[in-house]
């Protein structure tokens, strides 16, 4: 089933006026009649399932077909006498769903469960019977699909419906694969329902099931569902797009000629490759027509190049960019950086001498299989798990193919306070079409949606403990929590030791993940007074001046001169210092490394020799930079007092992006205690840097 080529013309049941090109579709009515004839002889498969077996053997030549035969016979006998609304025998539905999955390359266990997916719900067959006949794996999948089918799909129940669906399907992605194939067949035969019901089902399919198909990487299902939904919800735009494609069909198509040129280039380069022209599906044509305006012949499809090895992909890319004019802005490398849904390919575009621009996709055959079928192409994703005979089959499984978004959905759906909130954040989460990976300071990784901030990373790593996050280091540099993260960043999150710390209301402006937004909103709702306190307006700088002035402890070799320590570098013993005579006969003392020393000499200031007194006390100005939090000034002052240091003056600047700068002028009884004082100030929760002015 082709991702790019699939379009509503492939679904005569959905739109009778349309006909499929190429391989003829199966006649479901004929399959129904074959099903009613009952089982055939034991030495061959029933005719009705022969098409499924043929598609299955194409992907799995050594598969045991006897299991499918037994599953079909049980399904056929159980559903005998039941009819669909379209008039076909009901058995045609599980057959069609199973055929969809077989064409995608699903393994035998998934196909067996697909044949039986409605038996427990609609017939007298029990889960115990399924386990006895087909084993625990098939029973587990059928049970998951049954739980989904039992959900009320009424319009008012949609939010809770999909919460339950995620829980039911999250433990095994094969359950979700069957559900998607089930919805695809139902969408193909939706024409027998009332228009308002068609629209409701199409909207749910658009909002949740299509994004789920994208997340699972099942592009073949996703694109066909998109076109079917497009035809129902936007009939006028669909008809105009159909007319546009029909008009193009009567024109000369430049893509086959470009494909021939590409074949020649690759053949001369000695690269074995298969070159295809892949027509765009309806929604894709509609999208590019809105962005590009009038379409040219090369816009109605793309060139697909299939090779054997990863290295061949880059060899093909080099030949294309050498022999054609590349459109640099269109190049994307999804092999080195795969998309979140397992997708890998090289994307580029080249211009021909005739002025056409052709989009080109380069991938290996294995990449192509995964691009079309996603997780379905991976077979049984749990086959490598260590078997445990004592394990409860209903317990949650660790899915090795989906370590990111699916586990996050299962986690935050438990925290959603109500179905409406769940529905809103689910749609927002599924709307994210790209994922990034960031590295934690301890060596672990976090999977986050593109555009996520340090706030999202904090809640992904620490859960509710992230309420006390006061800052972050990204790639070793301090940054605000609102800073967005990029793929490959290393993030170290700084947590306050104060258990009463909480998030600020403005965090919601920078949180992208549902887990972060739900946790922040819940905390703010539970602490309305604290929430108000975090949104107060910025104040003017706060200054505190001590009662005692304190004198300088530097001596100048100039009788009766007033000596001042420079505020730009605040020298203290035993710093090497230099003095300069300034207006009024005063001598200013700088550290010799201070930039002002060179300036003084450049303007011809008189140099005066200075030295330190024998006394050890000194005055120094320190800058403390911190993340804003309640009681921070009090805690810093207390830390200074514990070191036996007197505060001469203090200035606190207004917060900027949650960060605060404190300037302290301090009188130390002994200059040797300065390093210990600075360490004590850095140890105050929230303070990330202390330096001399």
Catalytic residue list? 121-122
553 Cβ neighbours under 8 A, 6+ residues apart: 573, 612, 613, 615, 617, 618, 619
* Bridge partners, residue 185, by sequence: none
Give me 420's structure tokens: 């409406």
* Bridge partners, residue 484, by sequence: 453
CA-based end-to-end distance of the chain: 68
* Bridge partners, residue 469, by sequence: 495
Contact present, 68 and 111 (Cβ < 8 Å): yes
Q: How many CB atoms lie within 10 A of CB 390?
A: 4
Strand 435-440 to 357-364 pairing: unpaired
Burial of 527 (0-12, 13-18, 19+ CB in 10 A): middle
For the chain, what's the residue count? 693
Q: How many CB atoms lie within 10 A of CB 618?
A: 27
Could you tell me which of 360, 350, 305 has the C-alpha nearest to residue 327?
Answer: 350
Beta strands per DSSP E along 469-586: 469-474, 477-479, 490-495, 542-545, 554-556, 563-565, 577-581
Cα 91–chain centre separation: 39
Give me 186's structure tokens: 């139902």
Q: Compute the Cα dihedral for 379, 381, 384, 390 and give only its sign.
A: negative
Could you tell me which of 47, 54, 102, 100 has the C-alpha nearest to residue 72?
Answer: 47
Compute the C-alpha angle 483/444/379, nearest 5°.
Answer: 110
Cα R_g (the chain), whole angstroms: 35
- The CA distances from residue 151 to 176, 185, 262, 598, in Å, are 14, 19, 51, 79
CA-CA distance, 414 to 514, in Å (whole number)? 11
Give me 578's structure tokens: 């230099």
Contact present, 479 and 448 (Cβ < 8 Å): no
CA-CA distance, 211 to 187, in Å (whole number)? 16
CA-CA distance, 98 to 115, in Å (whole number)? 6
CA-CA distance, 461 to 16, in Å (whole number)? 52
CA-CA distance, 108 to 61, in Å (whole number)? 11
Strand 301-307 to 357-364 pairing: parallel
Give me 639's structure tokens: 């830390």
194 Cβ neighbours under 8 A, 6+ residues apart: none
Helix-, strand-, coil-residue percentages of the chain, each rounded to 5: 45, 15, 35
* Bridge partners, residue 404, by sequence: none
Strand 435-440 to 490-495 pairing: parallel
Please compute, for residue 511, the number of CA atoms within 13 A of its CA located in the half-sphere on the CB side: 23
Q: What letter does residue 84 receive in the DSSP assignment?
A: -
């Amino acid at each position: 089933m082709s991702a790019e080529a699939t379009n509503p013309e492939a679904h005569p049941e959905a739109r009778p006026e349309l006909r499929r090109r190429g391989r003829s579709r199966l006649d479901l009515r004929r399959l129904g009649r074959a099903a009613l004839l009952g089982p055939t002889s034991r030495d061959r498969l029933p005719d009705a399932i022969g098409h499924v077996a043929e598609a299955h053997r194409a992907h799995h030549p050594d598969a045991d077909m006897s299991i499918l035969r037994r599953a079909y016979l049980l399904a056929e006998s159980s559903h005998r006498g039941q009819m669909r609304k379209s008039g076909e025998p009901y058995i045609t539905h599980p057959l069609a769903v199973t055929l969809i999955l077989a064409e995608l390359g699903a393994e035998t266990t998934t196909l067996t469960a697909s044949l039986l997916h409605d038996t427990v719900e609609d017939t007298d067959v029990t889960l115990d019977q399924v386990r006895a006949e087909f084993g625990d794996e098939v029973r587990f999948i059928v049970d998951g699909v049954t739980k989904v089918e039992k959900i009320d799909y009424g319009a008012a129940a949609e939010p809770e419906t999909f919460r339950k669906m995620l829980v039911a399907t999250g433990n095994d992605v094969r359950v979700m694969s069957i559900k998607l194939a089930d919805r695809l067949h139902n969408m193909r035969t939706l024409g027998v329902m009332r228009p308002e019901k068609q629209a409701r089902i199409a909207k749910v399919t658009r909002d949740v099931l299509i994004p789920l198909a994208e997340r699972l990487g099942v592009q073949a299902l996703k694109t066909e569902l998109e076109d079917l939904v497009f035809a129902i919800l936007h009939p006028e735009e669909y008809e105009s797009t159909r007319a546009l494609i029909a008009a193009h069909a009567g024109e000369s198509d430049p893509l086959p000629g470009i494909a021939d040129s590409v074949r020649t280039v690759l053949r001369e380069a000695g690269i074995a490759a298969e070159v295809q022209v892949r027509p765009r599906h309806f929604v894709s044509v509609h999208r590019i027509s809105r962005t590009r305006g009038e379409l040219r012949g090369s816009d109605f499809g793309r060139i697909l190049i299939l090779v054997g090895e990863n290295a061949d992909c880059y060899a093909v890319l080099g030949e294309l960019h050498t022999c054609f004019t590349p459109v640099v802005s269109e190049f994307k490398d999804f092999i080195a950086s795969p998309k979140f849904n397992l997708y890998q390919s090289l994307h580029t575009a080249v211009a021909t001498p005739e002025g056409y621009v052709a989009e080109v996709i380069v991938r290996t055959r294995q990449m192509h299989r995964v691009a079309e079928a996603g997780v379905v192409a991976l077979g049984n994703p749990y086959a490598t798990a260590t078997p445990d005979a004592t394990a409860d089959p209903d317990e949650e499984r660790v899915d090795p193919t989906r370590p990111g978004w699916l586990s996050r959905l299962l986690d935050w759906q438990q925290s959603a306070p109500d179905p409406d909130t769940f529905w809103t954040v689910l749609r927002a989460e599924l709307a994210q079409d790209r994922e990034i990976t960031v590295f934690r300071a301890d060596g672990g990784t976090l999977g986050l949606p593109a555009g996520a901030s340090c706030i999202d990373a904090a809640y992904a790593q620490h859960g509710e403990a992230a309420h006390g996050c006061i800052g972050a280091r990204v790639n070793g540099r301090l940054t605000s929590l609102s800073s967005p993260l990029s793929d490959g960043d290393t993030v170290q999150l700084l947590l306050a030791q104060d258990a009463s710390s909480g998030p600020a209301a403005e965090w919601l402006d920078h949180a992208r993940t549902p887990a972060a937004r739900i946790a922040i909103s819940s905390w703010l709702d539970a602490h309305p007074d604290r929430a108000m306190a975090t949104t107060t307006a910025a104040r003017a700088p706060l200054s505190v001046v001590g009662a005692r002035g304190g004198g300088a402890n530097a001596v100048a070799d100039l009788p009766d001169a007033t000596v001042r320590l420079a505020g730009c570098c605040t020298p203290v013993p035993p710093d090497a210092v230099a003095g300069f005579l300034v207006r009024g006969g005063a001598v200013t003392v700088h550290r010799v490394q201070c930039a002002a020393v060179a300036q003084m000499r450049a303007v011809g200031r008189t140099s005066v020799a200075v030295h330190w007194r024998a006394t050890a006390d000194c005055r120094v100005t320190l800058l403390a930079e911190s993340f804003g939090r309640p009681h921070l000034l009090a805690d810093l002052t207390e830390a200074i007092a514990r070191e036996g240091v007197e505060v001469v003056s203090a200035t606190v600047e207004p917060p900027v992006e949650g960060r605060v700068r404190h300037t302290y002028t301090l009188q130390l009884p002994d200059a040797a205690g300065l390093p210990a004082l600075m360490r004590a100030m850095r140890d105050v929760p929230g303070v990330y840097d202390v330096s001399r002015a």
